[in-house]
Chains A and B, each alone.
Chain A
């Protein structure tokens, strides 16, 4: 009874989100739309051996094989609805309503998998926490902006991640590991958390004495190998593994994306620029390379004038270094309830120090952090700031005027809901049931004071630092949207974007440091 009503309520949350997403169908979509449409055509029209070799369109398949199979599955329905969607040549840049509706609705439906992940995670949580997590994940504005406007399938992929976390939290490590392996074969970008998984599973699942431990290790190993074999086996058979890996890991893309993700390298680049500026002033001859970052070009050469060049292996080492405290903690004290934090921390490090990071990758740690946001007041405050900053950093993705009110309103609505939800959860020390009882039963029960001393002390408030940072966010937006075009016109068009990246990078660095401190300080 309890569970069926909670399922219904979860479905209600989902249905409201679906209505809004349906209304957003005719909105802007990026080239990612054409990318996915092409992949539908590719997987439908060509045999397996040609999937990673085809050159019909510049949008080549760069996700692992399971995602390609997912596209193949969708293409069956697409073919049924309108064959031209999946036509390899005639479907190029196909923009008919049938294509748009089909692809948009496929994203909406694939969010059901995310819903399942959320359901599993919150099955055993108490009512208020459950609702709060639902609001934070099912109604997440970042997911709406990236999946349903810009166009991607992150909801579906994050569903696998959340499912895996839910199994780990319940202690079912084998299942959790299996699901993570499956996720890796959907999108390899999630592999950043693989070391954490490895350490945790080794310590928690396999460290149980010589014989038993070894047998468990082999079982786990066998499962993971089986998953990878199922994914890559057919390509190994066709002798295409090298081609597949070339497509999946296009390292010729440069340290930063055309629009800088708000990560650590933003500071590195700015430092480089500052140094080169001052050194030039002092008379040193500094070569400013052609493909400068501010030009927005993306290339293989990492054009740093003063500071040392960064290579992909450097970034890998930095990520692993940042992750090391987490490894130590996971090794010394592997607790299921800490899993979500560690995984989110792993993705944060990957975002901050990784190679060619997209700003969309912030979803990978913001969504799992929603699970822990409800656990304590400090977590809630941290999540409030992080969620707003990461959502704001996604604004440049939707640069057309007609989406402007939508993205602003989405962020505003999310902030209000978070504020209301968190302040409810963390201002009342005593259960609200008693308060309602007093209302309903009248004079019978003692009237509970609405503000017990403990509650007042621990209310959900943002300090002046946080408030001024958020105000700064608003000022950055006002500058970018109104003052810059008014005062400077068309000059320095990259400045507003640079400003957004840098400002948000501060916020994300703060989040990283906060998470690191939290992980280190727990036993």
Chain B
């Protein structure tokens, strides 16, 4: 008996030592401090981004409307050549049906600065009218350099973000970067700065509103816990209003102008969904034809109610027990709620839940990997259209490799060995289901690339992809909501302990 115990101890010791030796794998990378590691990873992330920008972009060489790249270039053209008030108005100079501006003013200002820069190097690319469809090399090249240069976030090798921003071509980095800065400010208790930064993010891309409930409920919860809640709320409110005023200044002189801008931001006439995005409305439209049954007006109302209802649990939790961890979960939950239930959601919006998920990656390893995998998968048809298949696979593989870095933070935690045989069946069933779905997703990739769908259902494959992804997103959203609520119980038990 004693010998067995000794042996076990020795085994454990050997295990620990083996872990130590293997832990040294990345010790050389991290021993100089987090700064050096960050520098190293950032340079690698930059390299990957530059490499992706070698590949085709959305709408490359395809008249008459080209794609998102052309949209960005057109916005530079508009903002440089027309006065501020004209930017959102339909006029002879600014034909809104040709890639009209449909993001808030900060995007417009940013396009203006980029346009100035581009005009210095290549005036032809931004001259009004004559530059439509201008695709030269220089324009491509310098715009993408700008994109890289703007990057402030930590989570630099997010393949979804890299593919959308540097492949498909958008500037999500900026609004996401501002959001991350706001989150960082909240986590370091600088609430005024956080609200200012988030307002800026909101003024850059209206999609940042996905995070608004979390910010709102967390800050409200924090204020309520203070001695003077009204004072706190007032301060925050003033900061928000002040930032809005500064950014929207040119459009605030009349309600007309303001409404003009707002109507461009919320294109309700485009319908409750477009293409095949993995959210509730699109997926259930296989059975319930929403567009036929209801008018746009009633659909607006239904989707608003659904979104608010699904946000509510997470908001309530944060108001009752605000905490940093809860805040991150709150962000994840509110962005999920918006993604799944709101009006006119794009596939690219999966970037928004991905951001808090990556911030929570250390705690929720498996869910993060799932979300990344299925998020990428849900964007696969879009990326195929943009001919970004190779970067898709390369970045996906890179992400999986880094996730499973030898003795890094990926994979199964070392000491997680299920001891209880009772749960074995459930666990193995779960593993089997997950494995099955992974395998079918993988096969679907190949099928989508090589086979043609049947004549009767030309979008069959997109629909299947959408179904699978929706199922996974719904599961994950449910799981994270439950996790956030469990934080409430945890905090209440802690409070009880404190009282005792």
Is B10 an interface position by the 8 A CB rule? no
Instruction: Kindly specify which of A263-271, A430-438, A498-506 makes contact with the partner chain.
Output: A430-438
Contact, CB under 8 Å: A413 / B28: no
Give A433 to B23 CA distance when docked, in angstroms: 9
Is B439 an interface position by the 8 A CB rule? no
Give A293 to B364 CA distance when docked, in angstroms: 63
Main secondary structure of the interface of B (DSSP, over half): helix
Is B464 an interface position by the 8 A CB rule? no
In the complex, what's the smallest C-beta–C-beta distance from A84 to chain B, in angstroms? 21
- Considering the complex, which residues of chain A in the window 394-424 have a beta carbon less than 8 Å from any beta carbon of chain B? 401-402, 405-406, 409-410, 412-413, 416-417, 420-421, 423-424
In the complex, what's the smallest C-beta–C-beta distance from A145 to chain B, in angstroms? 12
Contact, CB under 8 Å: A413 / B47: yes
Is B405 an interface position by the 8 A CB rule? yes
In the complex, what's the smallest C-beta–C-beta distance from B159 to chain A, in angstroms? 10
In the complex, what's the smallest C-beta–C-beta distance from A168 to chain B, in angstroms? 29
- Considering the complex, which residues of chain B in the window 35-71 have a beta carbon less than 8 Å from any beta carbon of chain A? 36, 39-40, 43-44, 46-48, 50-52, 54-55
Range for the number of chain A residues in contact with chain B: 35 or more
Residues of chain A with a CB closer than 8 A to B47's CB: 20, 406, 409-410, 413
- Chain B CB within 10 Å, residue with most, of A5, A23, A436: A23
In the complex, what's the smallest C-beta–C-beta distance from A193 to chain B, in angstroms? 31
Is B4 an interface position by the 8 A CB rule? no
Look across to chain A and name the residue whose beta carbon is closest to the beta carbon of B142. Answer: A401
Is A24 an interface position by the 8 A CB rule? yes
Look across to chain B and name the residue whose beta carbon is closest to the beta carbon of A9. Answer: B406
Is A275 an interface position by the 8 A CB rule? no
Is A19 an interface position by the 8 A CB rule? yes
Residues of chain B with a CB closer than 8 A to A405's CB: 46, 50, 145, 148
Given A22-B393, A413-B44: A420 and B401 interface contact (C-beta under 8 Å): no
In the complex, what's the smallest C-beta–C-beta distance from B244 to chain A, in angstroms? 37
In the complex, what's the smallest C-beta–C-beta distance from A305 to chain B, in angstroms? 42
- Chain B CB within 10 Å, residue with most, of A401, A405, A440: A405
Is A27 an interface position by the 8 A CB rule? yes
Residues of chain B with a CB closer than 8 A to A420's CB: 28-29, 31-32, 36, 40
Is A8 an interface position by the 8 A CB rule? yes
The residue that B397 contacts in the complex, of A19, A402, A406, with Cβ under 8 A, is A19
Contact, CB under 8 Å: A406 / B406: no
Residues of chain B with a CB closer than 8 A to A23's CB: 48, 51-52, 54-55, 390-391, 394-395
The residue that A412 contacts in the complex, of B43, B141, B145, B394, with Cβ under 8 A, is B43
Contact, CB under 8 Å: A433 / B17: yes
Is A306 an interface position by the 8 A CB rule? no
Is A425 an interface position by the 8 A CB rule? yes
Contact, CB under 8 Å: A421 / B28: yes
Is B24 an interface position by the 8 A CB rule? yes
Residues of chain B with a CB closer than 8 A to A25's CB: 390
Contact, CB under 8 Å: A433 / B24: yes
The residue that A409 contacts in the complex, of B17, B43, B54, B395, with Cβ under 8 A, is B43
Is B20 an interface position by the 8 A CB rule? yes
Given A15-B401, A425-B28: A416 and B394 interface contact (C-beta under 8 Å): no
Contact, CB under 8 Å: B20 / A437: yes
Is A16 an interface position by the 8 A CB rule? yes
Look across to chain A and name the residue whose beta carbon is closest to the beta carbon of B51. Answer: A23
Is A127 an interface position by the 8 A CB rule? yes
Q: List 11 A-B contacts (CB under 8 A).
A: A19-B401, A22-B390, A23-B48, A23-B54, A26-B55, A402-B137, A409-B43, A416-B39, A420-B28, A424-B32, A433-B20
- A-B pairs with lowest CB-CB distance, top 3: A424-B28, A23-B51, A19-B398
